[in-house]
Every structure is written in C-alpha cells, then in structure tokens.
Chains A and B, each alone.
Chain A
Amino acid sequence: MTLWLMAGLLFTPLAWAVLTLLLDFSKGRVVTWLGILVQVLVSLGLWAAVASDGEFLYLLGGWQAPMGIELRVDGLAVTFVLLTALVAAACGWHASIYLDPDKPWNRYFWPLFWFLWAGLNAVWLGGDLFNVYVGLELISLAAVGLVALGGQADALRAAIRYLMAALLGSLAYLLGVALIYGQFGTLSLAGVTDLVSNGGAQSNLTFPLILMLLGLALKTALFPMHGWLPPAHGIAKSPVSALLSALVVKASFYIAARLWLDLGGDLGGYALAQLIGVLGSLAVIWGSWLAFRQAKLKQVVAYSSVAQIGYLFLLFPLTWGVTDAISQQAQQGITLQVVSHALAKAAMFLAAGNLIMSVGSNRVDALAGVSRFLPFSLFSFGLAGVSLMGLPPTGGFAAKWLLLQASLASGQWWWLGVLLAGGLLSAAYVFRVYRASFIEATDTDQFYHPSRSLEVIPMILALLSLGLGLVAEPVLSVMSLPFEGAGS
C-alpha cells in the first residue's frame, strides 16, 4: 500500500508536468484539477500511513543507501508533503481562475507548477545530499520560470536576481556536499550522521557545514541576504507569489534544519548558533519595519515574509547545547511556525491578488474604499494577519508560545524581545493596510469584482491557519515522530 502511495506521490507531479506541457491553458486547467485531487488524496494517505505505522525508508530502484538513493519518509516529511498538497492545491485552484487564459505564455504555468511541486516533494523526502541538490535546483529553476512568465522587464530583472542568488546558494551547498563526500565516501545523510556521531573527522567538517548553511540561508533569504526576495515575490503573479513565499523558501530552510539537527550538535558551536539566531532576529525586526514602509501592497506582504522567515532561524540557537526536551519544544514551535506561516502567507498573497485585481493598482493607498466593496477578501487578509501577529488561538500563537517556552527554559531570554517586537511590528503593517482600505474616497467607485471562488480560497487557507492553533496537539504528535528516535 505504501509503495503505491509513494509511486503516486513521486509520479503524479512529474507526469502531470508532461501532460500539461502538451495541452493549452484551459485543458491544462482541467487536467491539473484531476492531478491535484490525486495528489491531495495520496498525501493524505501517506500521512495517515505514517501516523499509524511510523516512519520508513523508501529505496529508489531497490538499491540501499551508499549505492542508491533512499527517501526518508518520516512524520516531519509527510507533514510537509501534506502542507504542500494543501497550499499548492489552493494556489493551483486560484491560478486556474486568476490567470488570463488568452495570454499565450500562461499555458506554461501548469508544467512549471507541477515541476515545482515535484521538486518540493523530492526535497521533503530527500535522504541523500546530492539528490536534495537536484531537487533544490528543480525548485529554483521552476520558480524563476514562474516569476519570469510573461517576461516584462521588471519581472525579468527580479527573476534574474533571484536566479543568481539561487544559483550561488546551490553552489555553496554543492561544495559542502563535495567536501563531505570526499571525507566519508557516502552521500546518505543518515550515513554521514552515523559517521560523525561516532567521532569521524569532526574538525574537517565544520567548514563544509558552514558553507552549506550559508548557501541554504541565501536561498531562504536570511537577513542580510534577503535582497532578492521582495522583488521576486512582489512582482510575480499572486498565485505564484503565494507558492514562493509559502513553500519554496521553506524547502531550503528545511534542508538547513535537517542538517543542523543531524550534524549541528557535533559540528556546530555556540557562537555559530547564536550568530544565526541574531541574524534571524534582525530579519524579524528589519523585515517588519520595511514591510511597514512599503508603498506597494505586495511588497508589504513580501517583506513580511522576510520577517517571518527570521523566526525560523531561532531554531539554531534553541536546539544547540540544550536538553532534549527543550530541543523538542523548539523544533515543534518552528514546525508550527513553518506550517502556519505557509497557510497564512498563501492566504495573504491570494487575498492581496484579489484586492489588487479589484482596485486595479498595487499601491496601498489605492485601497481606499475597498473595505465596503470586497470585505470578504479583506477579512481573509486580516485573518491571515492575525496569525502572523501571533494572537491566540492561531497557529502563529501556538508556534510563538512554544518558542517562548523553549527560550525561557534554555535560559536564552533575549529571544523574548524578538518574539514580542515581531508581533507588534506585524500588527503595525497589517493595520496599515486595513486603515488604507477603510478610508472613504469619493472618486473611486469603479471596482472590478473578482469571481466568488477567488475570494473563497484565501478564506479557507486563513481559517486553516487560524484553526491550526486549536488542533496543534494531534498535528504535532505526527510531526514529532522522527525526533523521538533521533535524539540530538
């Protein structure tokens, strides 16, 4: 049964990429709906299978680890597979209505969308260092293609900048992989972890680990390497922005986190962990502040991503040199933050797309009067904002609560200020958008009304993000399955 699920999971996105490449936009849309259905069912099935039977290794081609490529199907991986299925389904559905079928280039949206999905699944499940590199490149190139779709000069500039950053990040990661392979002669992450924890050549591997983390941090847009993110996420079409912010940046973070949790305990150090944490905190403050200052609506949301990504990097100081219980708590907090940010940010970008479509401008001050006209989309935007602020009972609150407890328990009280300031600053930029939309302007009465389903989709995502705080317990119990065996 699980073998069928795995084959379905790996096969569907790739096959659908080929199918939609051969069809035009409208037919591709119908085929995509079918594929989304398959993919969501398979992801649910796999999640249920892991929740009941526990994790397993999937041998591609039937070859074992040093020879072939193993996929690690554990609780965290299937949680992210399921998250990807939900968010990508929402974005795909939104895009199928939002994108203009008459533009000749939009037909290429579907194959790129499916390749992106395939790459994401490959990264979540990846247990092989080099295979993960190929998965990352699959994601980057598909994402760049999606940003550049349509090919205006501004979009191209953003896409080229994004591509350059992504390529440099991948190369840094690959260089680390090359050094690790030179040291151990194996590419399997599990194998490397075993060898390192048995005391194999630890001093040689600090530099490769730093290289890989640096490359991945560049791809995740950690402050101060975030410059490429806002233009790319701000200028892409809204469903694309939602995919990029919700899922794509998480892929490189996920690998960095896995590397850190597996190898960081032996190879990392207090200073490195604190440095990454400080950069993350600066990202929270600086990103939120810049989000507050942006004139364009989607730039606000994009800078908010920079800030929210900053929280994720608190994982590094909160899991280094602490007891297992605290580390566990921090990991759960970060995982919840990834999930709730993915849902909330996708909702926010899709809602922002609706608002922009309605008022015909990307500027925040052009939103005047839209509150009476498009209250539903505005409400979704606000609900997602509530989760970003971290107010109860949202997923964002549950995540920050766990992080707060982990900070206090590990004696690193200085992260509390970041958590509080980040929440307040995000409240500021969300309310700014609200304030702009409640101003009554007399001269703007020609709003375009987007279709009803476009408005429903961000609402569903925002509600999911809101409800995540209430169902955090069962979700976390599946997520944390792998950590019980691993120990750090």
Chain B
Amino acid sequence: MMRFFSVTVLAAACLAFAGALMVTVWHISGTQAPVDLPGLLVENLEASGVEHPITAVLLNFRSYDTLLEIGVLVIAGIAGISMAKTTSLEDPLLRTSDSLLYALQRWFVPLMLVLAGYLLWAGSDRPGGAFQAGAVLAASGVLMRLGGTPMEFLRPGVLLRLGLALGFSVFLLVAVASALAGDAFLAYPKAFNKPLILVIETVLTFSIAMVLLALFVSAPVNDAVEPEERERG
C-alpha cells in the first residue's frame, strides 16, 4: 500500500515536471531568438579554417569547451585505470580461440580502421570528426580484445598513460603556443588554422580511442579479495 502510494506520488511529480517542461518549450518555441548565432557563424566561418560549421565550433570558436571535454574523458580514463588490476588483463576467460570470431575479425578490423580514418578526414567538410573516429577505433579495439588478441599496451603502464595523455597534451601545447605567440589562449595563428586543426583531430582520435578502450579493459575481472584493503594492519 505504502509502496503503491510512493510510486504514485513519484509518477505524479515526474508528470508535473514533464508538463511544466512541455509548457516552457511550447512557449519558447513561439518566440524568435533575438541573437542570430547561425548567421554570425556563417559570416566568420572562413576565418576558422574548416568548412564544416560544427567542426569549426568545436575546434575553433568554442575550442576551450572541447579542451575541457577531452580533460573530462582523460579523468574518466585515469579513474578507471586507478581501479584496474594488472592481472585482470591476463584473465584466461578472455582468451578465446573461436575460429568464427577470428575470421570475422580479419574482415572487420581493417574495415573499421579504414572507416575511422574516413570519419576523421570527413570531419572537415561533412559529418564526422575526432570523436566519431575515436569511437570506431575503440570499438575495433574492443572487438580484438573480445576475440582474444592480447594487447600488452593496455596494462596500466607508461605506454597506456602516454596514450591517454597524448591527444590532450598536443591540444594543450597548441593552445599555449598560440597564447605565447601574442594572441589569446587557443587563438590559432590564421595561416596554420587548417593543418593545426587536422593535427589536433588526429591525435585526439587516437587518445579518445585509448581512453574508451582502457575503460573497457580496466573493469576488474579477477576475483581476488583485496588484502590491501585496510591501511592499518
């Protein structure tokens, strides 16, 4: 009885919330936005160095957001590998020798790598970009991992940490170099807009894939009870 009552109250509250939201959205949709941001973007697109407006927003106009966003991703990666057990990587359960999987992989992995490369390249003038490419790259890594390919570099060692940090550090270096060159933080020099953005996209793709893959692998698989649980004694 009590339970039914609480569910009803909760459902009513959520309905009320959705209703208020609906009304607000409806009211807002009847007005005209006073600032024409898309128009402003079109006017300034040429100065940004990329033809695709979304990529221009991500990597030029609002590049600080993107920098911090990659930071968030790296944090998740760090927190993930801080939980990892080195031994879990060699868990025998993960070693399969399924010939069907193996055959599938031979077809899929190269295809996915090409797709990742295409998405990266496409980002400059049509849908695509670093994150999409990184996600596909990570997915191919997950596939290989599930198929039993040992990936030594995913141990929580220096290689993994380098991989996690690479994209972020290159992005940051560009930001600082542009700040020291006299312009503001993250203001790319006009002449190098395009190559710089391409370099950033490439390393970001790599690092995003590393983070996602590391998070996939870092889940603890071994069943050892932690002996180091208590700090004292």
Pairwise interchain contact A60-B74, C-beta atoms closer than 8 A: no
Pairwise interchain contact B75-A141, C-beta atoms closer than 8 A: yes
B24 within 8 A of A: yes
Say yes or no: A21-B165 contact (C-beta < 8 A), given A10-B185, A108-B82.
Answer: yes
Residues of A within 8 A of B24 (CB): 179, 204, 207-208
B155 within 8 A of A: no
Residues of A within 8 A of B125 (CB): none
Per the 8 Å Cβ criterion, residues 149-176 of B in contact with A are 158, 161-162, 164-165, 168-169, 172, 175-176
Residues of B within 8 A of A184 (CB): 33-35
Considering the chains assembled together, what is the distance between the CA atoms of A14 and B172 in angstroms? 8
Per the 8 Å Cβ criterion, residues 48-93 of B in contact with A are 60-65, 67-69, 71-72, 74-76, 78-79, 81-83
Pairwise interchain contact B79-A148, C-beta atoms closer than 8 A: yes
Considering the chains assembled together, what is the distance between the CA atoms of A69 and B65 in angstroms? 8
Pairwise interchain contact B33-A185, C-beta atoms closer than 8 A: yes
Nearest A residue (CB) for B179: A7
Smallest CB separation, B207 vs chain A (Å):
11
B223 within 8 A of A: no
Nearest B residue (CB) for A14: B172
Pairwise interchain contact A105-B82, C-beta atoms closer than 8 A: yes
Pairwise interchain contact A68-B27, C-beta atoms closer than 8 A: no
Q: Is the interface of B mostly helix, strand, loop or mixed?
A: helix
Pairwise interchain contact B28-A183, C-beta atoms closer than 8 A: yes
Pairwise interchain contact A100-B231, C-beta atoms closer than 8 A: yes
A131 within 8 A of B: yes
Smallest CB separation, B65 vs chain A (Å):
5
B98 within 8 A of A: no
Interface flags, B101-114, vs A, CB<8A=1, else 0: 00000000000000
Pairwise interchain contact A131-B71, C-beta atoms closer than 8 A: no
Say yes or no: A135-B68 contact (C-beta < 8 A), given A152-B229, A182-B25.
Answer: yes
Pairwise interchain contact A61-B40, C-beta atoms closer than 8 A: no
B37 within 8 A of A: yes
Most chain A C-beta atoms within 10 Å of own C-beta, residue among B36, B82, B158: B82
A452 within 8 A of B: no
Pairwise interchain contact A61-B185, C-beta atoms closer than 8 A: yes
Nearest A residue (CB) for B82: A108
Smallest CB separation, A101 vs chain B (Å):
13
Considering the chains assembled together, what is the distance between the CA atoms of A186 and B36 in angstroms? 8
Pairwise interchain contact B82-A207, C-beta atoms closer than 8 A: no
Residues of A within 8 A of B64 (CB): 60-61, 69, 131
Residues of A within 8 A of B176 (CB): 7, 11, 15
Pairwise interchain contact A60-B184, C-beta atoms closer than 8 A: yes
Residues of B within 8 A of A14 (CB): 67, 71, 168, 172
Pairwise interchain contact B78-A21, C-beta atoms closer than 8 A: yes
Considering the chains assembled together, what is the distance between the CA atoms of A15 and B174 in angstroms? 12
Say yes or no: A185-B37 contact (C-beta < 8 A), given A61-B64, A138-B68.
Answer: yes
Smallest CB separation, A2 vs chain B (Å):
11
Pairwise interchain contact B82-A115, C-beta atoms closer than 8 A: no
Smallest CB separation, A191 vs chain B (Å):
7
Pairwise interchain contact A118-B161, C-beta atoms closer than 8 A: no
Residues of A within 8 A of B72 (CB): 134, 137-138, 141
B46 within 8 A of A: no
Pairwise interchain contact A67-B41, C-beta atoms closer than 8 A: yes
Considering the chains assembled together, what is the distance between the CA atoms of A134 and B175 in angstroms? 18
Considering the chains assembled together, what is the distance between the CA atoms of A388 and B47 in angstroms? 54
Smallest CB separation, B218 vs chain A (Å):
11
Smallest CB separation, B177 vs chain A (Å):
10
Pairwise interchain contact A108-B81, C-beta atoms closer than 8 A: yes
A151 within 8 A of B: yes
Residues of B within 8 A of A175 (CB): 21
Residues of B within 8 A of A183 (CB): 28, 31, 33
Smallest CB separation, A442 vs chain B (Å):
22
Considering the chains assembled together, what is the distance between the CA atoms of A17 and B44 in angstroms? 33
Pairwise interchain contact A60-B185, C-beta atoms closer than 8 A: yes
User: What are the 8 A-B residue pairs with the smallest beta carbon separation, nearest first?
Assistant: A145-B79, A185-B33, A7-B179, A185-B35, A62-B187, A108-B82, A186-B35, A61-B186
18 A-B Cβ contacts within 8 A? A3-B184, A7-B180, A14-B67, A17-B71, A17-B74, A22-B158, A63-B44, A66-B35, A67-B40, A108-B82, A115-B71, A115-B78, A138-B72, A148-B79, A182-B25, A184-B34, A204-B28, A360-B232
| Chain B interface residues toward A at CB < 8 A | 20-21, 23-25, 27-29, 31, 33-37, 40-41, 44, 60-65, 67-69, 71-72, 74-76, 78-79, 81-83, 158, 161-162, 164-165, 168-169, 172, 175-176, 179-180, 183-188, 226, 228-229, 231-232
